[in-house]
Structures are given as structure tokens and as C-alpha cells.
Amino acid sequence: MSPSRFKLCFAGLLSLVGVAAVDNIATGNTTADTTHLQTWWHDHGEINYKTPVSAENVRQSHLYSVWVKSTADSTNTYYNSFVYETIPRNGQEKVVIPGSSITGGPYDSVTIEASLWMTMGWTQFLHNEDAWVKISRGDNSTTARDVVIRPTNLNLTVTDDGEGNIYILVPYREQGLRFSVEFKDNLYSYRDSCETPLCDFVQDWHSDGPHYVETLDETTNPVMGEEPHDALLIFASPFPSSDLIPDKTATDTYVVYPGPVPDLGSIKNSVVYFTPGTYYMTATAHAKLSSSVNWVYLASGAYVKGAIQFTTAATTIKATGHGVLSGEQYVYQANTLLGYTNVKSNIASLRMWSGYSKSGVQQTFVITGVTTNAPPFNSIDFSGDLDTISINQWDYKQVGAFFGQTDGTTLYSGSNVHDIFYHSNDDTIKTYGSNILVRDVVIWKGKTAPIVQFGWQSRDLANITVDGVDVVHMKYSSNTSHPSIVGANQVYGVDETWTNTADLSKTVRDMYIGNVRAEGIGGNLLRICPLANYQNVVIENVSLDRVSPRTNGIYQSEMPVFKNWLGKSVDIKGFVIRGFTVGGEKITQKAGNYGPDALGGLNIADELLQSGSVVIE
């Protein structure tokens, strides 16, 4: 028996104590590439949670190590699975000009997070049988009872080995699983600064840091959210079907190899294939693809620092593979018309994924498998004819959305979205078109804007379903930006008090938002500025675990009456809130617990309730 063989057996014996099978631990960062499991590793991992990592390196978790074992593997081997890490602002100050030391850029929503060294880690693997995930926190020992998995209703089995490691049984599901692993000794309570609606978070860790207060006080600094200090997300995906993997050897495939990304703007191929490894585009460039390219593939283990812009008129545009597209090199709001500087422009600020929708041609953007990290702005947007583009998105992950305007995906008419994880700091499920279906989304929500958004202008919308949303965290600090599950904001750029801005020629009809579970402390049910008529809008089975304290208005839902400029009110019919609960208590008109001062906190215009236009049952 060789020494290493002996070590394997010894490790196996030890683990007998906690888990049933005799396990082997693969040595030397060995990854799995079997018929049941694929994991991967980066040789260029850099452990550094404070500053930007070198261009050719991938930030690696400074705390967590993860191994995965397929229950179908007769050798019982645990294989390494690389744990990525992302940090607020990529460890930089508020840089205005990329690469310069000129800081002091505009408010970017990162207030105390950077000074507290918040981190978010994740790992991703592919499997087709149940798998055990083993997690170690180095010197910090963990027992199963110190761990919470969110969404909690996944009911995953967690065990430990008495040696400080925990094990999670991840059932195989064809839609994959995306969850957060949280350790009781690693939680941070975000406290607010004062009792007015404009407040932000405060901290007592660094006296020379931002928003410092010497003593946090329960009354004036209430807890507004609780999150892991060092998040760990597990993304378990099925193996992709063959139509999602391009032929690497085909002449039509342009294969990119690790290092600086070459110019992809004049190639003649239709497929761009990123092999495993690290790529970078720098802070002042992104890939504007030639119009021949309709498919970008990020292989498992590809980590591309950059952003992708399609220019093709193809009817199907694809982004597939289980690699990562990371915006970490860019400054906030990187303005592509102004040298990628931090100057906000809803037109020119860089999107991680973008394209131009050709007028008159129905196009679909299929995006699946990939993880988008550290977006500097909205992450997915098209320009051009927005009536002829739809999004087909599943098994998609967004992480590291620490900056302010880091929306989820803009959903145009005909979009179909399911089995997603969004860490987002702004409007997240953006139902801006008709015939949209959204199912089974896990959301980790930052400070700004509601989770489901369908406002900012008067819209004609019909046939929208959002069914199955698990909100694992919400972290609202202020009342100023619709801290809600469901929101329809006022006209973009005007004050919310301008209630004469509705357009009565438009109607929102047949909208269903249901089965939304929000864990922990968070925002309110809804803030709706009805800029159009509403017909048959149903909000069903939304549960809020705990609402925030009453001092700053965040807990309160608002639905006033809006009128057109001539003073004529919008017509609202069949707006139903059904099965809404707060802390397990059902909120209804009959029970009398719905009002602004009651548990439900619903400040809905009296005339809407009295006329039966809005019903709470």
C-alpha cells in the first residue's frame, strides 16, 4: 500500500463516523469528469478578499473549500469543486476613470459592505444523480446544526462528521438547484442609521470607515436585514443537452484560448467558444461581436472578465455553457461612449450581455448555464426593436451585484424564464412585455427597487405569470425606492407625487404573481403607481416572514389612485390580493388586519377598496 493510498483509506474511516459510505478524498485538487459528475478547478486561483486580483487570476474563496461526490460513484470519491469569490467594487475605491487613482465617483450603493470585507462565494457543478457536497471552513469547525440552507423549504439533508466538515445531500433534479449555505457564526445584521426615510446602513467595525457609529442602538439603529458575512452559494446543474454545446472542431467555431481576448468584431464564424481558463478584456473594452456570431459558449471552467455584445440579426442568439462572465474589471456604470468611465447613461453604460434587435425579425436570446458576476450596470438589455426580441433563460445565475443599478434581466414580450438565481440590487424580475412566464426564481435582493417591476412608464401588458419566487434575503435601507415584492414605479424621472401622469389608453391585464416566499426581514408587499388601467391582476400567496420596523415607512405598501392630466382616474377592476401572510398571519379585509397601521401595512386608497376594485381576501 502506497502512502497516498493509505491516506485515502484513513480519511474514509474517519468519515464513517458521520456519513454512511466510506469516502475517498481526491488529492491534489482533483476534479471529476465522469458520467455522473463534473467539477472543475482553476490553477490560477488567487486568495485575496481585499484588492483586485491579477488579470490572469480568478478570485478564490478565502474561507470555503468544497468537494462533491456522486451517490452513483462506486469509488465514493469526493472531488474538488473550485469555490469562486466576489467582493464589493472588486476591492477598489469609487473609481471614476478606469486605471486611474481618481476616485470619489457617484453614490454606488456600496456603503458599508466594502469596509466590512463582505464576500460572496459560489461553486458550480454538473450532475445526473444525487450528490453529496462536502464543505470545510478551514480552521473553523462546523456542525450540521449551525447551518441553514436557504431557501429553507428545500429541506435538504445536512450532516457533519464531527471533524468540522458538513455534508449536504443535493438531490438530482432536471431543473437543477441553487441555494445558499449559511453559518450561524457568520451572519451580519444590517442596521439602519436613523428614523427618517432617507437613511442608510451604519457600522461599528471601522471608526475610520463610512457610516460609522460608535454604539449601535436597537431603537435608532433597527435591524433591516440579515445576511451571511461571507456568502456561499451552491449551483447544481444537470448536464446540458447536446444542442447547448457547440462542436469545438467545426470550421464555423472560433475557439478562444485563455489570456487577453482577441478582437472578435471581424471574425466570420458563427460560434465563439471559450475553453476552460481565465480571459480578460480590460476595464476599457468589451467584446462587440461580429454580426456573424450568434452563439457564445463559455465552457465549464472558463472565466471571462469582460462583457458580450451581439450584433447578429439571427432569429436565435445563444449564450450557453457553465462558465462565468465577470464584470469585475469595470467601474460602476462604465460608459462605453466615454471611455468606460463612471458616468451613468441608460443608453451607453455597459451591459454584461447585450444585443441589437432587428426591426421586423422576431429574435430569441437563449441564455442558460452561465453565471454572470459583478455587473457594473443592468446586466441584460437589448436595444433596437424591443417588440421583436424575447428572452429564454433558465439555469442562469447572477452573483456579485453589489453596485446600485444592477438589475435582473429585462423581459420583453414572449419571454420564458425559470430556475434562476439572481443577486440583484435593483429591479429584478422586469416584466416589461406581454405573454411572459417566470417560474422558480431564487432572489437575494439588495437595497434598491422592487423584486417584480412593471412600471417606470405606462404600459400595455397582458398575460404575465410570475409563479414561484423564493426571496432568501432582502436588505432594504430606505423608503425612497419602492422596497417591495411587487412594484410599478412612477414615470421615470418624475416625482411620485405627480399622480396625474397616468395614460388611460393603456391597460395592464391578466397578470398573476403567486407563491412568493420571503425569508427573514424585508420590505413590503407592494408599491403600485397605477399609470394605466388594471384588469384582473392577482397577487396570490405571498408570505413575508418579518417586516422591518415601522419607523421609516419601509413596511408599508402603497397603492394610491392615479389620474390622467385631465383628472380622470384609471379604471381598476379585479385587483385581488389573496392568501397574503405576514409572519404566518393571513391578512384580509374581513379580519381587519390589512390597513397601514395594522400588521398587513397596506395603504390602499379607500375608494379602491370601497368600490371593490381592490379586494384583499
Ligand X SMILES: *[C@@H]1O[C@H](CO)[C@@H](O)[C@H](O)[C@H]1NC(C)=O
Q: List, as one string, the DSSP characters of 271-313.
A: EEEEPSEEEE--TT--EE--TT--EEEE-TTEEEES-EE----
Q: Whose Cβ is closer to ligand X: residue 252's or residue 607's? A: 607
Distance (Å, whole) CA 394 – CA 439 = 9
Catalytic residue among 426, 427, 470, 503: 426
Of residues 338 and 462, the one with the C-beta less far from ligand X? 462
Nearest-approach distance from CB 51 to ligand X, in angstroms = 17
Q: At 397, phi and psi to the nearest 5?
A: -130, 135
Minimum gap (Å) between residue 288 Cβ and ligand X: 31
Q: What CA–CA distance (Å, rounded) separates 360 from 479? A: 41
Query: CA of 316: how far to CAs of 293, 444, 556, in Å?
Result: 11, 30, 43
Give 231-274 as a 3 state SS string: EEEEEEEECCCHHHCCCCCCCCEEEECCEECCCCCCCCCCEEEE
Min dist. Cβ of residue 246 to ligand X (A): 27
Nearer to ligand X by Cβ, of 385 and 540: the residue is 540
User: Is 192 marked active-site?
Assistant: no
- Which residues face 563 on adjacent strands? 569
List the catalytic residue out of 407, 419, 470, 503: 407
Side-chain half-sphere of 289: how many Cα atoms within 13 Å?
30
Residues 29, 80 contacting (CB under 8 angstroms):
yes
Q: Is 407 tagged catalytic? A: yes
What is d(CA 125, CA 575) in angstroms, rounded to the nearest whole number? 42
Number of Cβ within a 10 Å radius of residue 85:
27
Smallest distance from ligand X to CB 135, Å: 11
What the block records as the C-alpha cell of 206 is 471601522
First to last CA, the chain: 70
Q: Name the residues that contact ligand X, by CB under 6 A.
A: 28-29, 45, 63, 137-140, 153-155, 185-186, 197, 416, 435-437, 463, 479, 482, 496, 514-515, 527, 540-541, 553, 558, 579
Neighbours of 362 (CB within 10 A): 14
Identity of the residue, 510 or 571, whose beta carbon is nearer to ligand X in the bound complex: 510
Instruction: Give 616: exposed, middle or buried? Use CB within 10 Å, 0-12, 13-18, 19+.
Output: buried
Closer Cβ to ligand X, 28 or 493, answer by number? 28
State the minimum distance, in angstroms, from the CB of residue 487 to ligand X.
9
Q: Where are the alpha helices (DSSP H) in 118-193?
A: none
Nearer to ligand X, 239 or 512 (CB): 512
Which CB atom, from 2 or from 155, has the smaller least distance to ligand X? 155
Phi, psi of 533 (to 5 degrees): -70, 150
Residues 528, 508: Cα–Cα separation, whole Å: 12
- The DSSP code for 549 is P
In whole angstroms, give the CA distance from residue 281 to residue 293.
Answer: 18
**Distance, CA of 543 to CA of 545 (rounded, Å):** 6
Q: Which is nearer to ligand X, 45 or 246 (CB)?
A: 45
C-beta nearest to ligand X: residue: 553
Nearer to ligand X, 128 or 152 (CB): 152
Rg (CA), the chain: 24
Q: Are strands 581-582 and 533-547 parallel, antiparallel or unpaired?
A: parallel
Amino acid in the structure at residue 292: S
Task: Report in angstroms how near the CB of residue 498 gets to ligand X at its nearest.
Answer: 12
DSSP string, 552-613: GSTT-EEE---B-TTSPBPPEEEEEEES-EETTEEP-TTTT--STTSTT-EEE-HHHHHTTS
Residue placing its CB nearer to ligand X in the complex, 237 or 290: 237
Phi and psi at residue 546, to the nearest 5°:
-145, 140
Helix/strand/coil for 481 = helix
Q: Determine the length of the chain.
A: 617
CB of 72 to ligand X, least distance (A): 22
Q: What is the set of active-site residues?
A: 407, 426
